Copies of this chain bind each other. A is one copy, B any other.
Amino acid sequence: MGGDHGLPVTLAACLDFLKRDSLASLLLVGRESDIRSAPAFAALQASSRAHVIHAPEVVEMGDPPAVALRSKRQSSMRLAFEQVGLGHAHGAVSAGNTGALMAISRNVLKTIEGIDRPAIATFIPNRSGSSTLMLDLGANVDCTAEHLAQFGLMGSALSTAMGVLQPRVALLNVGEEVIKGNELVKQAAEQLRQMPLHFIGNVEGNDVFKGAADVVVCDGFVGNVALKTSEGVAQMLGAFLKEEFRRGLFSRLAALIASPVLRAFVKRVDHRRYNGAVLLGLRGVVVKSHGSADAYGFRHALERAAEAARHRLVQRISESLAERPEFLRPSES
């Protein structure tokens, strides 16, 4: 239990989550005394749907993954994944150190048979009003075509689990006529065509936000750059808009009058609703919240985990893989 803002935020999110989801219950993994003494805990305890599991150690944001993995055997992160592994929890959510999260979740839960590497997937808003699932976002910075094909399969399974009937899976590529992508992407397209999924071909960076596909596949380097670039542009535009509305008396007055409209706009593009990246390919549901998430954002990460578990994400991925046994072990083919 943590995140940049500590227990007040995560516990408030837990409370709100339980209020809205009458069937869910929570295991709060962390320092028991800290959790029990937090003001928000009383209400959680009263719900009788939150239980504390004591973890004496904490993975710090600066811990190298290898250290977190080997030296902190009693970390809250590890114990939370163990609850999933033991079947005591249907999923785990953490706002902690991403590197450690990847290493420990993989060590504790193992990957699904046929998956070489887990991928990080997140939903991003698009103009059509729905959302686009994009992966990988940084777990794998050196990928093979087989990895990208596996990402497509896992992304399709997650998208299906989230209610899309036949997810359109696309490959992120560059668009000039002369350039049909780098070698990796060309090979990945071949592989994706043979996968049990609805592959619609290439999309370009701008298509992602048009809703041209339900699932967009890319290697972790490209995905991470694309996601962070998007965040950077959105932040810059937001800052410029604010500055213009603060420039002089007239602008401030205009801002006051336009405030309901501006609020509606801000709500619509609120990135907190998209908080909660899913680690795909593990034998258990693991969701990563932004470290800086507030209670509203963290609640969405909890909801994402609950949804993924209820819709049998892990089984769906296994089943998809079973349809194409020849892809199970691409490294041995």
A174 near B205 (CB under 8 angstroms)? no
User: Does A24 interact with chain B (Cβ within 8 Å)?
Assistant: no
Smallest beta-carbon distance A173→chain B, Å: 8
A73-81, A192-200, A241-249: which lies at the B interface? Answer: A241-249
Q: Which chain B residue lies CB-closest to A143?
A: B182
User: Does A236 interact with chain B (Cβ within 8 Å)?
Assistant: yes
- Provide the bound-state CA to CA distance between A322 and B176, in Å: 33
36-67 of chain A: CB within 8 A of chain B: 61-62, 64-65
Contact (A206, B229) CB under 8 Å given A174-B224, A222-B221: yes
B205 near A229 (CB under 8 angstroms)? yes
Smallest beta-carbon distance A120→chain B, Å: 10
201-242 of chain A: CB within 8 A of chain B: 204-210, 218-222, 224-237, 239-241
Smallest beta-carbon distance A143→chain B, Å: 9
User: Does A260 interact with chain B (Cβ within 8 Å)?
Assistant: yes
24 of the cross-chain contacts (CB-CB < 8 Å) are A64-B177, A99-B176, A100-B178, A138-B174, A138-B179, A142-B182, A174-B228, A176-B224, A179-B220, A182-B221, A204-B225, A204-B228, A206-B232, A207-B232, A209-B229, A210-B232, A225-B226, A226-B229, A230-B232, A237-B269, A240-B265, A250-B260, A254-B258, A258-B258
